[in-house]
């Protein structure tokens, strides 16, 4: 199914207000104002949303920064797209069900879903806009990320995952790229249910044995075909924290098949071997998160 957004009419330079002819300019491409030489991106329209910028692209949709022209606020809009009609119906049903469930959650560490809609046969989801970097940027610090800040991130994400689990939802693709920050640098988990949708896409393409999740962080029981649990999400969070704190994922290989094989044939390395200067409690917690058999423990401190 083709992705459809409309050209806007009457575009003006955001700097000097001069009218610019964009009739031959592809939406979301750059244009230079002849009057002031200011370079800007030409927006597009989708339903009552002024689409300003593409934030991400997946197998089943696109995510944009957009302005809600009715409420006059900026949001993130995910527009669902699939080529195969049968798969499209399955994906739409799954994503909409997941979005409705997420809309009922009210947790500071889970992205807020504002609304659902459909325009020109394409379902869309309206979410809060998170403009700060994702936690993936922290994996590029060469293993020098601040320990306390990373632990705060992990605690927040774990709390969000726990509330989702208590509402009957698993994430199944926890990774640094799915942890975004708001303007106050509060971590928020995005893309619940993405792994299941990618499985549907894989099934439609004849890839029936697709494993849900990202190979660098996926839990070993998921690799072997067992039913994922809350502990599987905790494992993936542990792998993400390991990557952020060391600058490398727990398992590495020449290809993803080798990475997955290592995960099911041997234990994860101790994070203390790569960053021995970490607090022993930090090392213990992350090592337990990445253990083949995970025990979820609630620790209480008494004074």
Q: Which residues are catalytic?
A: 173
Helix (H, G, I), strand (E, B) or coil at 185: coil
DSSP notation for 70-131? TTTEEEEEEEE--SSHHHHHHHHHHHHHHHHHHHT---TTBPPEEEEEEETTEEEEEE----
| Cβ within 8 Å of residue 225, ≥6 positions away | none
Using alpha carbons only, give the angle 149, 152, 158 rounded to the nearest 5 degrees.
140
Q: Are 79 and 62 in contact (CB under 8 A)?
A: yes
Q: What are phi and psi for residue 110, nearest 5 degrees?
A: -125, 130
Residue 190 to residue 102: CA distance in whole angstroms = 10
Go through the chain and tell me how many residues it has: 303
Q: Are 54 and 28 in contact (CB under 8 A)?
A: yes
Q: Is the dihedral of CA 177, 182, 187, 188 positive or negative?
A: negative
Cα–Cα nearest to 42, from 16, 65, 13:
13
Cα 253 to chain centroid, rounded: 24
Residue 205 to residue 274: CA distance in whole angstroms = 40
Residue 188 to residue 112: CA distance in whole angstroms = 9
């Amino acid at each position: 199914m083709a992705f459809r957004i409309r050209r806007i009419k009457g575009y003006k330079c955001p700097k000097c207000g001069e009218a610019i002819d964009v009739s031959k300019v592809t939406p979301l491409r750059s244009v230079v104002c002849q009057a002031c030489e200011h370079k800007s991106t030409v927006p597009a329209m989708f339903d009552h949303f002024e689409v300003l910028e593409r934030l991400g692209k997946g197998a089943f949709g696109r995510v944009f920064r957009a302005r809600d022209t009715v409420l006059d606020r900026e949001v993130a809009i995910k527009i669902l797209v699939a080529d195969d009609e049968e798969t499209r119906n399955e994906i739409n049903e799954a994503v909409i069900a997941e979005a409705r469930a997420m809309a009922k959650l009210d947790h500071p560490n889970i992205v807020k879903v504002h609304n659902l809609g459909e325009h020109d046969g394409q379902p869309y989801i309206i979410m809060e806009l998170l403009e700060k970097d994702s936690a993936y940027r922290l994996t590029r610090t060469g293993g020098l990320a601040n320990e306390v800040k990373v632990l705060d991130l992990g605690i927040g994400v774990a709390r969000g995952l726990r509330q989702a689990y208590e509402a009957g939802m698993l994430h199944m693709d926890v990774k640094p790229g799915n942890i975004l920050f708001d303007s106050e640098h509060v971590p928020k988990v995005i893309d619940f249910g993405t792994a299941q949708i990618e499985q549907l896409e894989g099934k439609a393409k004849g890839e029936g044995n697709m494993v849900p999740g990202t190979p660098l962080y996926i839990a070993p029981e998921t690799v072997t075909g067992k039913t994922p649990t809350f502990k599987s999400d905790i494992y993936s969070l542990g792998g993400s924290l390991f990557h952020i704190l060391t600058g490398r994922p727990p398992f590495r290989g020449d290809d993803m098949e080798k990475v997955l094989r290592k995960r099911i044939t041997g234990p994860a390395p101790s994070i203390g071997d790569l960053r021995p200067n970490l607090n022993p409690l930090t090392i213990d917690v992350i090592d337990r998160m990445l253990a083949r058999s995970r025990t979820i423990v609630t620790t209480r401190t008494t004074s």
